[in-house]
Chain A
Amino acid sequence: MSQLFDALLLLLLIATAITVVRATDLVAAVVKFGLYSLMMCVLWQHRGAPDVAIAEAAVGAGVTSVLFLLTVARTTRVEKP
């Protein structure tokens, strides 16, 4: 059960990372990156690292994403192909 959960989570992580690569809308890319960070934090919680999970949820998914969004707001939203 635990192994299945882990394997599923890892697959989802890879899939999310690839959607970040493919997103041409930068807001979408950042939001997907936030999702990626949150899933990573679930993985770490599951691996016995609750301390790290708290920090990743607040900083990796929260603060980093907001800083990225602020930058998108002050630069450009569309990635040129």
Chain B
Amino acid sequence: MVLFGVDVDYLAFVVLFCVGLYMLVRKSNLLKKLLGLNVMETAVFAFLVTSGMIEGADPPIRTAGTGPLFANPIPHAMVLTGIVVAVSVTAVALALIVQIHAHYGTIEVDELKGLP
């Protein structure tokens, strides 16, 4: 579907990306920032999956009774890998947030800035 010359799906992903970016830069709470980062990541993944699809195509699994059109398998492999990377970074960030809270007693950036 194309609207104002822009593919609606890509438009939606830009909106999702920016919602995540907004959460990352404007929210003071570290957990909220991290959620924002995850929303941004998912938006990029969605962009990848969508760029690899073909209208009316089957998943890239060539068993009997499928075809003749198949979705591109490379973006799927990239997104699978990307999901693992995303959860890895998130886990490390969360472990750091727990430490920050144990030390400073807050996870609000506005409050952390004033502390030594």
Given contacts A59-B84, A60-B42, A67-B91, contact A48 B53 (CB under 8 A): yes
Q: Helix, strand, loop or mixed for chain B's interface?
A: helix
In the bound assembly, the distance between CA atoms of A20 and B79 in angstroms comes to: 23
A79 / chain B contacts, CB cutoff of 8 Å: 27, 29, 31-32
A21's closest neighbor in chain B, by CB?
B23
10 nearest A-B pairs in the assembled complex, by CB-CB distance: A48-B71, A75-B101, A10-B12, A71-B94, A79-B29, A17-B19, A48-B59, A47-B53, A52-B79, A49-B76
Q: What bracket does the count of chain B residues touching chain A fall in? A: 35 or more
Residue of B16, B29, B35 contacting most chain A CB atoms (<10 Å): B35
Could you tell me the distance between the alpha carbons of A80 and B29 in the complex, rounded to whole angstroms? 7
Chain B nearest CB, measured from A11 CB (Å): 8
Q: Count the A-B residue pairs with Cβ separation under 8 angstroms: how many?
A: 132
Scoring A36, A48, A80 by chain B CB atoms within 10 A of each residue's CB, the highest score goes to A48
Q: A10-B12, A51-B80 are in contact. Are A67 and B94 (CB under 8 A)?
A: yes
Chain A residues with CB under 8 A of B108: 80
CB of B107 within 8 A of CB of A49, answer no
Contact string against A for B residues 81-107, beta-carbon threshold 8 Å, 1 for contact and 0 otherwise: 001101100110010011001000011
A43 interface hit (Cβ, 8 Å) = yes
Within 12-39 of B, Cβ neighbours of A (below 8 Å) are at 12, 15-16, 19-20, 22-23, 27-29, 31-32, 34-36, 38-39
- List 8 other contacts, CB 8 Å, given A44-B46, A67-B91, A68-B31: A13-B12, A17-B19, A17-B20, A20-B23, A21-B19, A48-B59, A52-B76, A64-B87
Tell yes or no: A35 within 8 A of B by CB. Answer: no
